[in-house]
Amino acid sequence: MKTKVLAVLMCLTMLLSLAGCSKTTTKENNAVKEPPKVSDLKLTLGTAPGPPTYPLAYMAEQNSNLTLKPWQTGDQLISMLSSKEVQISSCPVTNAMIAYNKGLGVQVLDVAVWGMLYVMSTESDVKSLQDLKGKEIVLAGQGGLHDLIFLHLLKMNNIDPKQDLTITYLDMQQASAMLASGKIKYAVLNEPNSSVAALNAKKNGVKLNRVLDLTDEWHKLPGQENVRLPMGTIVVVNGTNITAEQIATFEKDFIEAAEWVNSHPAEIGPIVEKYVPWMKAKAVSESIKYARLQPNHAADCQSEVEAFFKELSKDTDPKAFGGKLPDAGFYYQAK
């Protein structure tokens, strides 16, 4: 009997040790029925143009003491962080690294969004990256995270980005609009832009297809089978008088809000549009199932984030990350 009990305990221990960062904090199978309560924190939050903003908008709707400051460009974000305008902000992981390497006193609290890049097309003939040869494809943000991921995938699949296809750079909203109108046939889009494009295309009588999920393509790379694509983060801005207790409370609220967002796509759309008017309610609601909004405490994900960037660094200039991959101080540790 003792042997059986010991065996069960050992199995449980192994399962818990393997869970780690791969265990998402969102409740995919158990919908959050009641809107979670939000603590009465008084904070100013920077909001990125993407899914990490969805829980922040929910939190601001519940707590009028939270002020949201949307930003659109990397320069705006850096200015906001360096001037200490915000105590916490959502931002792409590469922007967080650049800010950290510039000595702006930021630390990543959570990796909130993983792998939300899709090749969208008015055609349906693309089944693999090899099928993109000879085609023109639109990308947003030359030198940014989307560009780096896509170019790396091409090169690792023996596709020369300069010779085997034509890449045109436009901003994300331009790319989305041109794809929806049928003026271009292929684009790499994130969320909610891919959902915006799909909905607008439908209005124009154009069928838009998600022909490739770049997360799936990444998992085909050797050694990357179980590595997610860290994309959207939540960073803490040190030197703004925010306390460890406030940070812990914020993180708890954010994770619970994300759980509710994932379970209530129809309800969160209008809330997000209220705080960030260009992010339209219907597109936000549609994007939930593609956004991979799965907040994880960043310090628990350090090895996974590093594995992703070590792979990306095989053919990427370190300047894209601010000169180097950050050390352990990049990851916020609860005090």
Is 32 inside a domain boundary? no
Query: Do 265 and 136 belong to one domain?
Result: no
Domain-located, residue 271: yes
Strand, coil or helix: 106: strand
User: pLDDT tier at 176 (50, 70, 90 boundaries)?
Assistant: confident
Same domain, 296 and 316: yes
User: Is residue 282 a part of any domain in this protein?
Assistant: yes
Mean pLDDT of 261-272: 98
3-state SS of 279-314 is: CCHHHHHHHHHHHCEEEEEHHHHHHHHHHHHHHHCC
Residue where a domain terminates, one of 185, 218, 251:
218
Separation between Cα atoms, residue 319 and residue 325, nearest integer Å: 10
The total number of structural domains in the chain stands at 2
pLDDT of residue 167 exceeding 80, the answer is: yes
CA distances from 184 to 129, 203, 206 (A): 18, 16, 12
**What is the rounded CA–CA span in Å between residue 89 and residue 250?**
12
Expressed as residue numbers, the domain containing 143 is 118-218
Lowest mean pLDDT across 199-203, 218-222, 267-271, 293-297: 199-203
pTM across the whole model? 0.89
Which DSSP helix (H) or strand (E) runs through 93? helix 93-101
Q: Using pLDDT thresholds of 50, 70 and 90, give the confidence band for residue 32.
A: low
Strand partners, 66: 43
CATH number, domain containing residue 277: 3.40.190.10
Angle at 177 between CA 58 and CA 70, to 5 degrees: 30
Most confident segment among 108-117, 139-148, 194-203: 108-117
Q: Are 71 and 46 in contact, with CB atoms under 8 Å apart?
A: yes
